[in-house]
């Protein structure tokens, strides 16, 4: 039979912890928390140091013209720090130079997925699309690059978009407005950059060529060459005098110079062909080929 409630014996209560034991328990929790944080920070620092070391080796290999070795070290750096977008950007460039277009495309796309406002990643992917002949997708990326460009007073993205339209032969009249804006912005600089002006005049000439306004296009190309040729010669001489430059860096700059001139000559050759000056046109086209003009690099 159950006992009445008033006859039940009181249950013993657990003893209250002393102030000293409470402090000891708190100390142990804080100690282990700090230890875990310290270990995590040390591991993170180790990963960053290892990644930075491999990136240094990659840059050195690239300066020596050893693309395969540079790629090996960038891959190693990314294994240590797989979230570093700058490393993917460098690897995309290396892959593009090594003609691994699919690999470069994957890297640029990964960057854009993680950072949708990264304007220069759109520009990089645009160049890959152009080399693949996917010109309409290149225009879309050029539009995104302009949309997210960090400086509103920079003419570069306007010219880039206009040139992408010329390559795609898409919305050419709109491209003409965009390169006009780029030219206006470039001419406001004191003094204007002759390399920049010649590039923008070349873009306008190519757009005019697409619109079959050949005489105007030829006038722009002639002006672009008058601006570029003296600068080209003086800059080449200056590069050869720079003994402190790594050989790979010097060669890359010289190749870029030759490529720029080759594009100007190729476009002038196309315009001369359209005007019926076949012999003069072939002279320009052949010189462009000798300078390394290659439509597989995304330029036509």
pLDDT of residue 2: 47
Is the separation of the CB atoms in 276 and 215 below 8 Å? no
Query: What is the 3-class SS of the chain, one letter each residue?
Result: CCCCHHHCCCCCCCCCCCHHHHHHHHHHHHHHHHHHHHHHHHHHHHHHHHHHHHHHHHHHHHHCCCHHHHHHHHHHHHHHCCCCHHHHHHHHHHHHHCCCHHHHHHHHHHHHHHCCCCHHHHHHHHHHHHHCCCHHHHHHHHHHHHHCCCCCCCCHHHHHHHHHHHHHCCCHHHHHHHHHHHHHHHHCCCCCCHHHHHHHHHHHHHHHHHCCCHHHHHHHHHHHHHHHHHHHHHHHHHHHHCCCCCHHHHHHHHHHHHHHHHHHHHHHHHHHHHCCCHHHHHHHHHHHHHCCCCHHHCCC
Is the separation of the CB atoms in 269 and 222 below 8 Å? no
- Residue ranges of the chain with pLDDT lower than 50? 1-8, 31, 34-40, 42-44, 300
Is the separation of the CB atoms in 51 and 45 below 8 Å? no
pLDDT of residue 255: 82
What digits encode the pLDDT tens for the residues 250-271? Answer: 777 888 888 899 999 999 999 9
Whether the model clears a pTM of 0.85, i.e. scores above it, the answer is no
pLDDT of residue 28: 58
pLDDT of residue 3: 46
CA dist., res. 68 & res. 75, Å (int)? 11
Is the separation of the CB atoms in 144 and 122 below 8 Å? yes
pLDDT of residue 267: 97
pLDDT of residue 46: 55
What digits encode the pLDDT tens for the residues 60-115? Answer: 877 777 888 888 877 788 888 777 888 888 889 999 989 999 999 999 999 999 99
């Amino acid at each position: 039979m159950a006992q009445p409630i008033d006859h039940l014996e009181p249950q013993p209560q657990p003893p209250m912890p002393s102030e000293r034991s409470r402090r000891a328990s708190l100390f142990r929790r804080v100690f282990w928390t700090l230890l875990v944080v310290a270990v995590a920070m040390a591991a993170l620092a180790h990963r960053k140091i290892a990644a930075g070391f491999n990136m240094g080796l990659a840059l050195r290999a690239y300066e020596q013209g050893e693309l395969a070795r540079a790629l090996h070290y960038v891959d190693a750096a990314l294994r240590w720090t797989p979230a570093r977008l700058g490393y993917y950007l460098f690897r995309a460039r290396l892959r593009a130079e090594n003609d691994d277009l699919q690999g470069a495309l994957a890297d640029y796309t990964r960057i854009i997925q993680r950072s949708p406002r990264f304007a220069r990643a759109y520009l990089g992917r645009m160049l890959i699309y152009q080399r693949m002949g996917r010109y309409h997708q290149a225009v879309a990326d050029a539009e995104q690059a302009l949309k997210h460009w960090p400086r509103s007073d920079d003419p570069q993205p306007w010219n880039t978009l206009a040139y992408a339209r010329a390559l795609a032969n898409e919305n050419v009249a709109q491209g003409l407005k965009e390169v006009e804006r780029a030219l206006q912005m470039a001419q406001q600089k004191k003094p204007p950059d002759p390399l920049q002006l010649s590039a923008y005049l070349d873009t306008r000439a190519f757009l005019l060529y697409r619109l079959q306004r050949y005489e105007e296009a030829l006038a722009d190309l002639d002006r672009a060459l008058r601006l570029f040729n003296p600068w080209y010669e003086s800059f080449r001489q200056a590069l050869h005098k720079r003994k402190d430059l790594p050989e790979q860096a010097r060669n890359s700059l010289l190749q870029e110079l030759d490529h720029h001139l080759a594009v100007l000559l190729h476009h002038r050759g196309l315009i001369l062909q359209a005007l019926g000056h076949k012999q003069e046109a072939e002279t320009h086209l052949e010189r462009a080929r000798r300078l390394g003009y290659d439509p597989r690099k995304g330029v036509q």
